[in-house]
Structures are given as C-alpha cells and as structure tokens.
Structure 1
Amino acid sequence: MYLEIINENAEQSLTDLLQDWAIPRKVRHFLRTKKHVTVNGEKVPFHTIVSKGAVVGLTFDEEDYPFHQVIPNAFIPVEVLYEDEHILVVNKPCGIKTHPNQPNENNTMLNAVAAYMNGHPYVVHRLDKETSGALLFAKNPVVLPLLGRQLEDKTMYREYEALAKGTLTHDFTCRQPIGKDRHDKRKRCVAKNGQPAVTHVEIIKTEKNATRIRCRLETGRTHQIRVHLASTGHPLVGDPLYGQPAKRLYLHAAQLTFFHPFLQQKMTITCPTPF
C-alpha cells in the first residue's frame, strides 16, 4: 500500500513526524530499513527536516500492517456523509451491524464499505445494530490510531438524537456506571462495580407521551444511552431490550466532531435525523 500525506504540522524531523502520526516503532523500523519513505518524491534519511506542505510518501508491505480479511458486499447501499483519502463517514441504517462477529458474516456496514472502497476499511467506533447515523471509518492503518487516540482522550464528540418515553422536565447528566447483565448476556445494566459512564441529556422538544432529546457521550459503553435512559424510567421509544419494541429504535447518531490529524482542522459531520 502506498500513501501520500501532505504535512500540515510545523517543521520537524521525519522521525518526530512519524512518531506524531502514531506509526508504531516496529513499522517505523521497517520504513527506515526498506527505505519506504520519500519526501517530495525523494528518498531521504530519517533526520531530514520536513517542512509544512511537504508531501510524505509511505509504502507499506502487507506484513507491516496485518489486517483481517473482510468479505465485500456491494448489495448494501452506502450513503456517504464525508470522504477524503484518509477517512470516510457514512450514514448507517437502523438494523445493520457495524462489523462482523464471525469470519463468514458479510451483511454489516464494514462489508458494505469494503465493497464501496474496493479496499480495507478500519472501524474507528461502533454503533449498535438498532442505532442509525454517522459512523466513522479509517481508510488506512496510519490514520486509525490517531482517530482512536481521540476516542480515548475524549476529544472526539458524538451527539445523538433520541425519543424517550414519557415527559422529561429538565436537562440532566447520568453518571451511573454500566456493567454486564448477569441474567441476559445481550443486555447491560447500571452496576455499582461497572465501568464509568457519562451521558449528558438535553431536552429538544416535548411530544405526546414522549420527549425528543439530544445526548452527548463522554464515554462509549455498550448500550450506554439506552441503559441510562431506562434507569431513569424513560426508556427509548422502540427499544427491544430495555423498553417496548416498535418499528425501530428511536436513537440516531446525529453529529460527529473530531480533529482531522492530517488536514489539521476540526471536523463536524452531521447526519439528518430520520424520525
């Protein structure tokens, strides 16, 4: 795989630049010994100072970045919200999984994106099968850890719109830890010894027997919004696990905000709410 990246960072050595791009030490060793790095089309030593605007070329062999084979599925439509040479944001429909759990699965968004790209996409974060909305993929293994670091550092923001059962009267924040449900392996529950979880809830509009809300996550626990809202006595409308099933779960990833590591700019991708 050959990748060209325009350096938007301040002037620094090639060694420091590759470290800033979170390229693993082992892979940096391969790049250096194989002379698989160029700057503006020329092979250069790693102490070379790289100026802003320089084009850095990286060549990766398959053994540098092993990847799991994904079966492409061109029959699942892919609605693109944003795309460049490094990242892809798509609108995941309700009822489709983010990625396969078994080697022979081919009916997930990862399979669809693999067919769309005719390549090897990488999942940055996931959405529940029942949740629709903005889903972020890395198009190469270099950008993946840079985006993953933002998830870990809580500098990537995800906002959801949902419909909660009943009438909510004020904005609030849920900070109850979430753990596995001992009685149902499909479910999660509020648990004293669970993982920390923080969900900020803002009321958008009160409707008949329901409240339209906006939720912002500080953490990314499985079923986090669903569990937190159910714990308040206001489960999401259409939730088959924590409420009552309907034609769909009324939960949608409406906005995704992150910092593009190569364009050096803040990105906000919106996805219109379908309900």
Structure 2
Amino acid sequence: MSQQIELTNTVKDSQLGQRLDQAVAELFSDFSRSRIKEWLLQGKVQVNGEVVTKPRFKVMGGEEITVFAEIEAEERWEPQDIPLDIVYEDDDILVINKPRDFVVHPGAGTPDGTVLNALLHHFPDIAEVPRAGIVHRLDKDTTGLMVVAKTVPAQTRLVRALQKRNITREYEAIAIGKMTAGGKVEQPIGRHSTKRTLMAVTPMGKPAVTHYRVAEHFREHTRIRLRLETGRTHQIRVHMSYLQHPLLGDTPYGGRARIPKGASEELAEKIRQFDRQALHAAMLRFEHPVTGELLEFHAPVPDDMVNMSEALREDTKLNHSEDY
C-alpha cells in the first residue's frame, strides 16, 4: 500500500550555495535524507518546475521546490494497545501529554512500544499519514505536550507552521546552578563529533534559538521557563549545557548531581536519585490546521519535578540567611 504526496516549499536565502539534496532535506525535514536523495535520483524533485536529479546541484535561494513522491506503508510499524493521555482530539489532530520513558518513533534499539505504535492502534487510518502524523518529537524522558496530525493536509500545514515558527512551545525545567537572569541562546546544533548519540553546539550545525527566563531561584538550582524558536534534536538540553547550566538529571549533557552546602540527607538523596532530564513541555499554542482557530493547551508539571522543586524551595527557605 502506498500513498501519493506532493510537497512544495521555497529555498531560503540563507541556503544560498547549498547542495540540492541538503536544501531539500532541510525544507522537508519530516523525511530522512536518504529518502530525499532517493526521490531526487528517481526524478521526483522539481526546481522551478524542472526535474533535477543531481544531488550536488547548487541552489541560489528563492527557488520553488516541488516533490512528487510515493510513501510506502511501513510494515514493521505495528499497532499496539498502549494507553495515550489525550488532551484534545478532533477529526484532524490530536494533542497528547507524553509521560517519561516513552519513545516517540521506532528506531534503532526501539523497534516498537512507541507513541507511533500507540497512535496506529488508537486511530488506524493514521497509517496513511507520513510518520503516522507525528509533526515534532520529545525525547524519551521529556514529558509533556505533542500535537499529532490525523490527515495528510493537517500534517502538511502543521509542518509548515513549525518551519515558519508559528507554533509556540514552552517548557518548564530545573537547571543546575544559579542563573541570574533570562536571555536567548542562538547557537547552531549538530551531531557531537565523538559521541554519536548526542548533539552539540557546532559551527557546522543547523540554526537553533532558545529563549529562557528565570521562574524561581534555589540555592544551587534554578527553575526556568523556555520557549523554542527552532526544534533541533535535544535543543534545550544542548543549549543549557552550553550555558554551563545543564538540566538536573541530564547526565549525558553534564547534569551531574550538585548538592547544596549543608543540605539535608533527604534532599541530597532526592537530587542523586533524580534519573531523567528535568524537562517538561508545558504549553503548546498553534492555529488549527483546518479551521484556523487559535488553540492553546497546558499540561501540569509532573510529580517528580513538582516534588523536586518543593524540596529545593524548602531547602532555600531553611538556609535563606546563610546564602542571601
């Protein structure tokens, strides 16, 4: 079973001089680079209405790119009866609140048991939509809100809205260290040079912008709110690590336990036992892809982060005179 799709987008001026395969992969980041290259070689990509089959063809910016292709149904993606916390659903979209320890998409090491498998069971027709309607992802242990498209037109419009930065995504996090004020991180992110499962700030990476503000000060930690402008893999985790304020529990990005001086043994143990990045997608705001209505959703901060904030707050009160 296969499905015909048509994708269109315009090459950005910032992509001047890029290879065609690289430019198309960035414009249609919902699809893998290998699939994009395959479509190119098969003559399914047009530049300003003309078929171009050379991946090395250089773009100048402003070209209209059209892709006419077929998507084969992936047989390995099996529906699985896994419960989903559905915040909102209609004929075109659904919004879920993802728990920790839940991978979004099947991949190496996680062939099933994912959000995608759960979506196929909940709404079988979503198999007709590329990537089962998944528009953006959250890391395995990041909790919170995700929007999923139930139809191809809804997905196309949501992906376009993401590319145009018209979807607002706000996160709650606990960072290590004393952050004095909010700000913006504008640093490109790419694959880590030696640790291939991690990302890093690198001059050769893709543009990435994260806004953050301080919500609450603790003695050796800071509760923050963040807003994404772009959606790179591990973006918040990488940017906070770059600021030397990695997230609590995020060991891969330097988030080793920091115990405040004179903290109770109970708090010290809580900090040591916090075993995931303290990151939660708390708010999602976007225009409905079909009706155009402005929608806004909120997901309460999960118990592990709430309890940690309460413990850090109590510790800060008890040691107020000593540190301030």
TM-score normalized by structure 1?
Answer: 0.73
Q: Determine the structure 2 residue equivalent to 1:105.
A: 111
Q: Distance in 1 between matches of 2:143 and 2:80?
A: 19
C-alpha distance in 2 between matches for 1:80 and 1:208: 37
Structure 2 residue 183 is matched with structure 1 residue 172: yes
Matched, 1:129 2:140: yes
1:72 is the counterpart of 2:100: no
CA deviation vs aligned residue, 1:92-120 (integer Å, no higher than 9, x gap):
11111111115982211111121122332
Per-residue deviation, 1:182 = 1.0
Q: How far off its partner does 1:207 sit?
A: 2.2
2:152 aligned counterpart, secondary structure: coil
Within the alignment, does 1:214 sit opposite 2:231 as a pair?
no
Q: Who is 2:30 aligned against?
A: none
In structure 1, the partner of 2:260 is: none
Aligned equivalents of 2:299 and 2:163: distance in 1?
Answer: 23
Q: Percent identity?
A: 40
The answer for the alignment partner of 1:145 in structure 2 is 156
Is the counterpart of residue 238 in structure 1 residue 249 in structure 2? Answer: yes
- Counterpart of 1:255 (choices 270, 283, 303) is 283
Distance, in Å, in 2 between the alignment partners of 1:201 and 1:104 is: 32
Q: Secondary structure at the match of 1:24?
A: strand
Pair 1:24 & 2:2 matched: no
- Range with bigger deviation, 99-108 or 260-269: 99-108
Regions of 4+ moved over 4 Å: 63-66
Give unpaired runs (5+ residues) of structure 1: 1-22, 26-62
Give secondary structure in 1 for the equivalent of 2:222: strand
Please name the residue that 2:292 is paired with: 264
| Partner secondary structure for residue 145 of structure 1 | helix
Offset, 1:64: 7.6
Write the distance in 1 (CA, Å) between the matches of 2:111 and 2:122: 17
Matching residue's letter, 2:256: Q
Q: Secondary structure of 1:273's partner?
A: coil
Match of 1:3 in 2: none
Query: Which moves more between the two structures, 80-89 or 207-216?
Result: 207-216
| One-letter identity of the residue aligned with 2:175 | A
Say what the alpha-carbon RMSD is for the aligned residues. 2.2
Specify which of 74, 84, 94 is matched with residue 88 of structure 1.
Answer: 94
Mapped partners of 2:92, 2:199: distance in 1: 34
Greater share of residues in strand: 1
Contact 1:72–1:106 under 8 Å retained in 2: no
Cα distance in 2 for residues equivalent to 1:195 and 1:262: 30
| Distance (whole Å) between structure 2 residues aligned to residue 84 and residue 91 of structure 1 | 16
Greater relative contact order, per chain length (Cα 8 Å cut-off, separation 6+): 1
Q: Note the C-alpha offset of 1:65.
A: 6.4
Aligned position for 1:191 = 202
Instruction: State the AA in 1 paired with 2:217.
Output: T
- Alpha-carbon distance between aligned partners in 1 of 2:83 and 2:252, rounded to the nearest angstrom: 27
- Structure 1 residue 167: deviation in Å? 1.1
Contact 1:134 1:254 in 2 (8 A): yes
Deviation at residue 90 of structure 1 after TM alignment: 0.6
- Which residue matches 1:5? none
Aligned partner letter, 1:78:
L
Amino acid across the alignment from 1:244: R
> Post-superposition shift, 1:24?
3.2
What is the CA–CA distance in structure 1 between the aligned matches of 2:110 and 2:283, rounded to whole Å?
Answer: 32
Structure 2 residue identity aligned to 1:207: F
Q: Note the alpha carbon deviations across 1:116-138, whole angstroms, 9 max, x for none.
A: 22332311111111211101111
Instruction: Pick which of 132-141 and 114-123 moved more.
Output: 114-123
Residue 193 (structure 1) shift: 2.4
